[in-house]
Amino acid sequence: MIDFSTKKGFICDMDGVIYHGNQVLPGVVEFINWLNREGMQYLFLTNNSGHTPRELQQKLARMGLDVSEDHFYTSALATASFLKEQAPGCSVYAIGEAGLFNALYDAGITMNDVNPDYVVMGEGKSYSLDTLTKATNLVLKGAKLIGANSDISGPIENGIAPACRALVAPIELATGKQAYFCGKPNPLMMRTGLRILGCHSAEAVMVGDRMDTDIISGMECGMNTVLVLSGVSTRETVDTFSYRPTMILDGVGKIVEEAEKQKKA
């Protein structure tokens, strides 16, 4: 059980928690209204590297949700921050979408398809046998392999789509090199999220639909965790893991119901 009256902030995943594809999930409007009404700090922390915070803000706006741009942090931003810290001014060969490229450019990182310091992989439609072959040979020549996140798949409206970890795997197999992943459950991303919130881990709740990224990252950072069953996880899949979330709920709307119940008790 989580005592929501003691909490000051929420870190929430997006895919499978807030929406599926372009479909907002039940209870989300009530949840965001409750966060605003209670004066909670909140951050949408997504492993999807394809979108910029502004694009995510506009995506929610199209679904009727009014959330400002400063409430979003992505694995693309975490990746750019990591590279800027590790090797300021480095160059990369990147496969991904606008969210990843914008984050890298903003961090002062340049594109280089000849002798880059890093090969950086995110999700994206530019992924092909040609780009995969290019990336493989650059890694064999000495470029270090970085993945924006370690998600194997992600929920879409009609099923699942392969995600970053699955897209990086062929390069790892072909080169014998292991990628370093910057998104959840990497604690660097979680600590950044807490810093943005201005919350201590004991004052924050992690909400997600995946045991292997969302729940473990919250748990290992000392946060209470809520697994919602609106994405990829089911009550049956929870039993296949050696750890458990603090609470299991059908969706984020149930958080509001639990908090209101506690208030009345």
Residues noted as catalytic: 13, 15
Residue that is written with structure tokens 């398809």 in the block: 113
Q: Largest alpha-carbon pair distance within the chain? A: 64
Neighbouring CB atoms inside 10 A of 174's CB total: 15
CB 79 within 8 A of CB 146: yes
Cβ proximity of 156 and 21 under 8 Å: yes
The CB density around residue 28, as the number of other CB atoms within 10 Å, is: 21
Cis peptide before 53 (omega within 30 of 0): no
What sign does the dihedral 112-115-117-123 (CA atoms) show?
positive
Rounded to whole angstroms, the Cα distance separating 206 from 202 reads 11
CA dist., res. 183 & res. 133, Å (int): 24
Residue with structure tokens 């470029």?
143
The span from the CA of 53 to the CA of 174, in Å, is 34
As a whole number of angstroms, the distance between CA 16 and CA 121 comes to 22
Assign 107 to helix, strand or coil: coil
Q: Tokens in use for 7?
A: 């909490």
How many whole angstroms from its chain centre is CA 156?
Answer: 15
φ, ψ (nearest 5 deg) of residue 108: 80, 20
